[in-house]
């Protein structure tokens, strides 16, 4: 996609995979609208906005995993583990070091106004006030599933979109997938938008050469939770 070799576009499997991947993520993004519309018509729950996020996150995750599991079962099961779900030769220590390196950067970002406008994400829920003790359980459940949503994102972008293309384009899949990853960050703070390309490229390289997404999951979910914690501390403890 970013080079002059267009031979891949003559491969029916490549074209099918590209269309299949785009359709999966597009439908995944639309699930939240279906859930929201259904709850608006059928639920009078006081925290319906919270319920909408919870059900939407679960529904998106199940859709992606079940759809790709079916695809993998019929096409790639004999060739590789389920798109990166392998712990063979996996060492988690380097990823903990990567997370530790991110702590000062996230701490600095947590003092910026544009960052605090977006995080913590739970602040967008009108029915939840995290300064009320009785609402902390809603906050905790939201944050757990918020992190798990990145589990799904990592599986899709660094699992399926990298490893399903390995036999066709090899490492040339890494940069185009990183571009796709940037697109879903358009509404995020500028620093996060820019870093998403470099982070997406790095995690893509790790996934390609290790054939495992566990490292990416540790880094991605860990950063997401640290950003939430940093924003929470900055906004509610040191306003």
pLDDT attached to residue 67: 95
pLDDT attached to residue 2: 47
Going 93 to 95 to 101 to 103, the CA torsion angle's sign is: negative
Q: Is the pLDDT at 1 greater than 50, yes or no?
A: no
For residue 169, give every residue at least 6 positions away whose Cβ sits within 8 Å of its Cβ, in sequence order, or none: 8, 14
Residue-averaged pLDDT of the chain: 86
Sorted by where each begins, the domain ranges of the chain are 7-236
Per-residue b/e over 192-229, b at no fewer than 16 CB within 10 Å?
Answer: beebbeebbbebbbbbbebbbbbbbbbbbbbbbbbbbe
Candidate from 129-138, 181-190, 225-234 with smallest mean pLDDT: 181-190
Give the confidence band of 210 by pLDDT, cuts at 50, 70, 90.
confident
pLDDT tens digits, one per residue of 89-109:
778 888 888 899 889 989 998
Q: What percent of the chain has pLDDT over 90?
A: 23
pLDDT attached to residue 68: 95
Give the confidence band of 13 by pLDDT, cuts at 50, 70, 90.
confident
pLDDT tens digits, one per residue of 106-140:
999 888 888 888 888 888 888 888 778 888 899 89
What average pLDDT does range 199-226 have in this prediction? Answer: 88
pLDDT tens digits, one per residue of 27-60:
998 898 888 888 888 888 888 889 999 999 999 9
pLDDT tens digits, one per residue of 142-154:
999 998 888 899 9
Q: How far apart are CA 228 and CA 37, in angstroms?
A: 27
Q: How far apart are CA 227 and CA 229, in angstroms?
A: 5
């Amino acid at each position: 996609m970013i080079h002059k070799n267009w031979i891949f576009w003559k491969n029916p499997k490549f074209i099918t995979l590209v269309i299949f991947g785009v359709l999966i993520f597009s439908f995944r993004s639309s699930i939240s609208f279906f859930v929201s519309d259904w709850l608006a018509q059928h639920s009078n729950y006081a925290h319906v906005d919270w319920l909408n996020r919870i059900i939407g996150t679960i529904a998106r995750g199940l859709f992606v995993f079940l759809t790709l599991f079916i695809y993998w079962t019929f096409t790639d099961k004999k060739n590789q583990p389920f798109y990166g779900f392998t712990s063979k030769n996996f060492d988690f220590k380097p990823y903990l070091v990567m997370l530790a390196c991110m702590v000062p950067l996230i701490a600095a970002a947590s003092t910026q106004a544009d960052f605090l406008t977006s995080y913590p994400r739970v602040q967008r829920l009108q029915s939840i006030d995290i300064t009320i003790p009785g609402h902390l359980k809603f906050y905790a459940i939201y944050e757990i599933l918020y992190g798990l949503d990145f589990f799904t994102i990592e599986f899709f972008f660094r699992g399926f979109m990298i490893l399903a293309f390995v036999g066709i384009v090899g490492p040339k899949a890494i940069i185009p997938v990183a571009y796709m990853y940037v697109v879903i960050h358009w509404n995020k703070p500028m620093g996060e938008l820019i870093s998403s390309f470099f982070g997406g490229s790095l995690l893509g390289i790790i996934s390609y050469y290790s054939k495992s997404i566990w490292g990416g999951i540790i880094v991605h979910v860990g950063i997401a939770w640290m950003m939430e914690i940093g924003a929470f501390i900055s906004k509610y403890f040191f306003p």
